[in-house]
Structure 1
Amino acid sequence: MIVCKFGGSSVAEAKQIMKVKSIVDADPNRQIVIVSAPGKRNKDDEKVTDMLYNCNAMVQQGHSCRELFKKVANRYTSILNELGMDQKPFLPILDEVRQMIDAGHGAEYASSRGEYLCARMIAAYFGWTFLDTDPLIVIKDDGTVHEDTYQNLKKVLKKGEKYIVPGFYGCSTEGKVKTFSRGGSDITGAILSRASEAATYENWTDVSGVFSVDPRLVKEAKVIKTMTYREVRELAGVGAGVFHEEAIAPVIAAMIPINVKNTNAPLDAGTMIVDSREIAGQPLAGVSSKSGYSRLTLRKLMLFKGTGIRHALLTMLHIFGVRPSFSLFGVDSIVWFFESTQASESVLN
């Protein structure tokens, strides 16, 4: 059995959703499909999730989001029309979501509705079962997945049944809608893969795999054929944006291979992410970069001969609310990298 996750670009408009259906229909083993909220149709477009955040912001300022939500509703009704579907059954669902946002259910509820509405729409289009992740996927306060999640899913997943599942959210331990960080639909796909004991987790996006370097910066960038879980997690953690770094943990536990593929070029092999690979011929997995970081460097001859220096410096940074994202150690130096916003806030405070 194969679990598929389709990102925002793959469900941004009707013609893309038709491609998704063709891909899924091409292999009967593709039985669980996770979808993101509709993304940008072009560079000047707006993601549905961003519209929903704006709706919540308006409510927090004491205003109704009724007018702004019309933009959200229009995205879905236009897709329904282009797919040749009757939009009437969907209108009460849209109105209920708008009312809940207006009632002040908060940012996590509002931002999660893009995936919810998309999954409801695609389930109707495919004729598959809609499976809501609230309350099945339980997300702890620190953003990690509660172990009860897997038993919850195993109890409801039926062999041979085909499911459309919204990504990005679940519920808190208190039973309220809770989201992962942006891009968290990858995590949902990984969770469903482990819970269903999938043979493969296919992650469909708008590029033909993970590139050795950002193709926007280096024209000669090539798709990496095979890489390990550890390698993709390291690259994702420092800027490679194809796959969410936190989505690796659930599949590692079950040793499920991940195949990153292109919705617009489904025959391309993509990138396989596995437990181990042959180093010969590809000693370097890839190179990534991430902007918005500041660097703090400490150099001192015989720096590490003293005791407790590293701990003392980390304690000082913690007092100022600065948490290093990663570090480098030399013979006589320490280099810490942290998000620049942390530095700005610490200086201001």
Structure 2
Amino acid sequence: MIVCKFGGSSVADAQQIRKVKQIVDADPQRQVVVVSAPGKRSKDDEKVTDMLYACNAMVQQGSSCKDLFKKVALRYTTILSDLGMQAKPFLPVLEEVRQMIDAGHGAEYAASRGEYLAARMVATFFGWEFLDTDPEIVINHDGTVNPETWNNLKRALKPKTKYVVPGFYGCDPEGKVKTFSRGGSDITGAILSSAAKADTYENWTDVSGVFSVDPRLVPEAKVIKQMTYREVRELAGVGAGVFHEEAIAPILASGITINVKNTNAPMDDGTFILPTREKGEHPLVGVSAKSGFSRLSLRKLMLFKKSGIRHALLTMLHIFGIRPTFSLFGVDSIIWFFETTQASDSVINAMCSRLKSEFELEEVSVDHGHAIVGIIGSGVMQDSSVIAKSTTALAEDKIALNFFNYGSSDTSILIGVNATQAQDAVKSLYRALF
């Protein structure tokens, strides 16, 4: 059995949805389809999810979203009309969603309705069953999947029944609609794959697999034929956007094969994501960069002599809403990189003042404009030439290093650079290593 997830570009308009139906009809093993909200039809278009977030923002400011929601409704009624379907039966569903947003049900409810409406529409077009993920998928407050989910889906999924399922959301343990992070339909697809004991999880998007480097930076970039769960997670963690980094967790124990494929070129093999792979002549799979980080530097003589100091410092960071992504430790120092959007300058200043006074630190500073570059591959520790080639290439291209992290993972090397040089660093490393 195959579970398929189709991204926003795959359901952006009627023409794309017809392609989806052709793909699904081509293999009777494709029995569960997870859909995202309609994405952009062109470069200047708006994603439905963004419009829904804007609707909620208007309500939070005390205005009705009625006029703006008309644009959302038009996207769906246009698709229905272009598919040769009657829009009239769908109008009460759209109006109910609009009223709920206007009633103040919040950002997560509003954002989730893009997938909800898309799945209702596609299910009708296919003649399949619609299965809502609320309340079947229970999402803990930290974003992880509650174990209750598996019992719920075991009851809900009936043998020999074909389902269309909305991605991106479920409910929290209290029963309120809760979303995953953006791109979270990948996670929904992984959950359904595990629950249904699928043989394959097909992740359909608008590119023919995961590329070894962003093809917008390197036009000759090649699609990776095979990669491991760990490799795709670490590549996604440093900015590669084809597959969500958290979507591995639900299928880690099951060993389900993931196949990233192109809705617009369904005959392309795509990328196969597997529990393990033969490294052979390809120990590395890709290089990518993620910008938008700030650096928090802490220093104190004999810092680590105090038991539990790291936990205490992290607890203080969490109080101010900061959750570091990457860490470095010296003899008497800690450096944490966190996403700049997590806190305003005023919050950061207050946090630094509190850290310095409460922990008697000698130095507390934050600076912005950082990027993390990752060299990813299961064989990264076995090829000693990678370090020499990487540092030489960056030095020759006059790219300054803020840190070089080798050894903390056997699947990646992480390099810190200034955000202004991130793209140049990626191109330099790709030329040197690939």
> Shared fold (TM-score greater than 0.5)?
yes
Residue in 2 that maps onto 1:270: 270
Q: When the two structures are aligned, how many residues end up with a matched partner? A: 346
Task: Quote the offset at 1:107 in angstroms.
Answer: 1.0
Kept after mapping to 1: 8 A contact 2:212/2:286: yes
Residue in 2 that maps onto 1:295: 295
Task: Quote the offset at 1:166 in angstroms.
Answer: 0.3
Taking a change above 3 Å as real, the CA distance of residues 310 and 206 of structure 1, as seen in their structure-2 partners, is: farther
Kept after mapping to 2: 8 A contact 1:251/1:257: no
Kindly name which structure, 1 or 2, has the bigger radius of gyration based on alpha carbons.
Answer: 2
Q: In the alignment, does 2:235 pair up with 1:242?
A: no
* Cα distance in 2 between the residues matched to 1:192 and 1:347: 40
AA paired with 1:270? Answer: G
* Cα distance in 1 between the residues matched to 2:32 and 2:231: 26
Task: Show the 5 A alignment for 1:305-316.
Answer: 307-308=304-305, 312=309, 315-316=312-313
1:290-329 deviation per Cα after TM superposition (whole angstroms, max 9, x unaligned): 01013356799xx9x9744896467446535443211346
> Does the residue aligned with 1:160 lie in a helix, a strand or coil?
coil
> Does the residue aligned with 1:116 lie in a helix, a strand or coil?
helix
Task: Quote the offset at 1:99 in angstroms.
Answer: 1.0
Task: Quote the offset at 1:336 in angstroms.
Answer: 3.4
AA paired with 1:72? Answer: V
Residue in 1 that maps onto 2:316: 319
Task: Show the 5 A alignment for 1:184-195.
Answer: 184-195=184-195
* Cα distance in 1 between the residues matched to 2:330 and 2:280: 29
AA paired with 2:98? Answer: R
Q: List gaps (5 residues or longer) in structure 1.
A: none
Kept after mapping to 2: 8 A contact 1:205/1:262: yes
Task: Quote the offset at 1:231 in angstroms.
Answer: 0.7
Q: In the alignment, does 2:209 pair up with 1:209?
A: yes
Kept after mapping to 2: 8 A contact 1:294/1:343: no
TM-score (norm 1): 0.93
Taking a change above 3 Å as real, the CA distance of residues 88 and 335 of structure 1, as seen in their structure-2 partners, is: same
Taking a change above 3 Å as real, the CA distance of residues 222 and 98 of structure 1, as seen in their structure-2 partners, is: same
> Does the residue aligned with 2:202 lie in a helix, a strand or coil?
strand
1:35-71 deviation per Cα after TM superposition (whole angstroms, max 9, x unaligned): 0000111111111011111111111122111111100
Kept after mapping to 2: 8 A contact 1:172/1:178: yes
Taking a change above 3 Å as real, the CA distance of residues 311 and 238 of structure 1, as seen in their structure-2 partners, is: farther
Percent of aligned positions with the same letter in both sequences?
A: 73
TM-score (norm 2): 0.75
> Does the residue aligned with 1:292 lie in a helix, a strand or coil?
strand
> Does the residue aligned with 1:70 lie in a helix, a strand or coil?
helix
Residue in 1 that maps onto 2:41: 41
* Cα distance in 1 between the residues matched to 2:278 and 2:166: 36
Taking a change above 3 Å as real, the CA distance of residues 60 and 260 of structure 1, as seen in their structure-2 partners, is: same
> Does the residue aligned with 1:170 lie in a helix, a strand or coil?
strand
Q: List gaps (5 residues or longer) in structure 2.
A: 351-434
Kept after mapping to 1: 8 A contact 2:303/2:333: no
Residue in 1 that maps onto 2:226: 226
Taking a change above 3 Å as real, the CA distance of residues 78 and 232 of structure 1, as seen in their structure-2 partners, is: same
Structure with greater proportional strand content = 2
CA RMSD of aligned residues (A): 2.2
1:92-119 deviation per Cα after TM superposition (whole angstroms, max 9, x unaligned): 1111111111111111111100000000
Kept after mapping to 1: 8 A contact 2:303/2:332: no
